DNA sequence: TTACAAAGTTAGATTGATCTAACAAATATA
DNA sequence: TATATTTGTTAGATCAATCTAACTTTGTAA
């Protein structure tokens, strides 16, 4: 049995590995707001449970079992976010905190029903892929808007580091997933980008924002 | 702040008080499957938090604050059950265990949205009243089917002690809330009752079952 | 290449929720 | 009423998850 606390460590490891490739005790300590010695002893416990490969002073790695379990928790999280937005009409900036709690619900039927009602969605409201029933995730090959060139036309496909404030910022400017964005110009000094998108919006967005917007060429 | 564990004690106290009038350490110990000394020390803790009136060797009582908190948890539980049955199409025998977990979710919008989508329901799928936003509950004046007379015609309004097995038993016999039941005869020996109800069902049910069916005169 | 800073580890304390063992009070029964 | 049973309480142990303080290893910069 995996406790709620252990689930949170697994999920954090999965997300950090996804983002930075490697996971350290320090990363976990920062993302979970838990002191390093606590993280350290939890890693040993998860190693006993065959969820983590642990060797002193080496980077942490999830085992296959650990990856699967983490994937299943992320599946529940993202399915829930989709359900909250699509079926319960909550704003995409409100759903993360609720999903963070619902992801720990122990009930197979509950999440299967969600999946069915949503017609087996592949992505969540922020464009992140939803792992399958075996915890397997297909990583999408998106590009950051900040890495595009002047003149490019792209589709907004996902957002990352999506805090509630950031999502509200986007909503306020009618920026949502799926819109077609044309890059008018890039300011060399601070890398801010002037874009146009439906319906006849023109905005200049900072590099900080552009780094959080994932796009596809069209 | 009230912990998940404390919430479970408050809810149990509310339910026991509703059913038997008084609450004892022993009752709580049995319903929560927690040993008496643990219950005893939790009662002292809840007394410190002004949620329970505690005096050695006296029956336990919730304070007004305790009643309100318990009522709000039960509200979340029952709203959730209604949501799971009505909006997510789960069977009434499956929803209790899930609601038991979702009732601890901390999010005002989540439950307000549920309430709105359900169009402000007054009862849950088992006929139990849903407390209002202040935790206030209106107790219904139902009668047990086992207390009715031969010849009575009544409406099935609620079920109590509704275990999953009991609810499946009822579903299998097309017995659901709202049906009109006519009492054909009562066996004096064991108090089993022969009833008829739509559509042209006749069943003989034991006293144990009849004690769990709450009805209204019509 | 030595010294300092950052990251990781060990040891031991704390807190919340649980337990068992032993004792005390209240209640039921002979 | 005396005794036995049930219920309630106290004391102290355990376990999971956290912490702080002190120490070690690794990596970096002078």
R_g of chain B, CA atoms, integer Å: 19
**At A217, which helix (H) or strand (E)?**
strand A213-217
Task: Report residues of chain B scoring pLDDT below 70.
Answer: none
Helix A4-20, helix A36-48: angle, nearest 10:
100
**pLDDT of amino acid B201:** 86
Tell me the two tokens of residue A144. Answer: 């950051």
Q: How far B184 CA lies from chain A's nearest CA (Å)?
A: 40
**pLDDT of amino acid B58:** 97
| Averaged confidence pLDDT in chain A | 96
Q: Is the CB of B3 under 7 A from strand D?
A: no
A149: Cβ–Cβ under 8 A, 6 or more apart, which residues? A183, A186
Q: How far B130 CA lies from chain A's nearest CA (Å)?
A: 20
Up-side HSE of residue A133: CA atoms within 13 Å toward CB? 9
Nearest by Cα to B126 from B76, B86, B197, B176: B176
| Residue A1: pLDDT band with limits 50, 70, 90 | very high
**pLDDT of amino acid A199:** 81
List, in sequence order, every beta strand (DSSP E) within A90-136. Answer: none
**pLDDT of amino acid B200:** 79
**pLDDT of amino acid A183:** 96
- The closest nt to B36, taking CA to C1', is D8
**Contact criterion met (CB < 8 Å) for A101 and B97:** no
**pLDDT of amino acid B199:** 82
Nearest to A105 among B89, B90, B102 (CB): B102
Separation of alpha carbons B130 and B121, rounded Å: 7
- Tell me which residues from 27 to 56 on chain B have a beta carbon below 7 angstroms from nucleic acid strand D: 27, 29, 36-37, 40-41, 43-44, 56
For chain B, the residue count is 218
pLDDT tens-digit readout, B43-87: 999 999 999 999 999 999 999 999 999 999 999 999 999 999 999
Q: What is the DSSP letter of A92?
A: T
pLDDT tens-digit readout, A149-205: 999 999 999 999 989 999 999 999 999 999 999 999 999 999 999 999 998 789 999
Q: With a cut of 90, say whether residue A142 has pLDDT above it.
A: yes
Q: With a cut of 90, say whether residue A31 has pLDDT above it.
A: yes
Nearest by Cα to B114 from B70, B71, B76: B76
How many CB atoms sit inside 10 A of residue B105's CB? 17
Instruction: Give whole-number Cα distances, B178 to A33, A190, B155, in Å.
Output: 52, 68, 6
Could you identify the residue whose CA is nearest to the C1' atom of nucleotide D26? A57
**At B203, which helix (H) or strand (E)?**
strand B201-205
Separation of alpha carbons A73 and A62, rounded Å: 14
Q: What is the DSSP letter of A202?
A: E
Report the Cα A72 to chain-centroid distance in Å: 14
């Amino acid at each position: 049995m995996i406790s709620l606390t252990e689930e949170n460590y697994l999920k954090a490891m999965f997300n950090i590995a996804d983002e930075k490739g490697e996971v350290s005790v320090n990363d976990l300590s920062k993302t979970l707001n838990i002191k390093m010695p606590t993280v350290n002893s939890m890693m040993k416990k998860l190693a006993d449970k065959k969820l983590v490969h642990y060797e002193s002073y080496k980077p942490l790695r999830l085992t296959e079992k650990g990856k699967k379990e983490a994937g299943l928790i992320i599946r529940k999280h993202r399915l829930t976010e989709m359900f909250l937005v699509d079926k319960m009409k909550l704003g995409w900036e409100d759903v993360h905190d609720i999903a963070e709690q619902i992801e720990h619900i122990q009930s197979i039927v509950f999440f299967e029903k969600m999946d069915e009602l949503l017609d087996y969605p592949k992505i969540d409201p922020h464009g992140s892929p939803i792992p399958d029933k075996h915890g397997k995730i297909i990583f999408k090959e998106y590009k950051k808007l900040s890495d595009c060139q002047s003149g490019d036309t792209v589709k907004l496909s996902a957002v990352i580091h999506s805090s509630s404030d950031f999502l509200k910022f986007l909503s306020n400017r009618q920026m949502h997933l799926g819109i077609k964005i044309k890059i008018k110009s890039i300011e060399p000094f601070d890398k801010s980008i002037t874009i146009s998108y439906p319906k006849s919006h023109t905005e200049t967005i900072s590099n900080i924002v552009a780094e959080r917007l994932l796009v596809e060429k069209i």
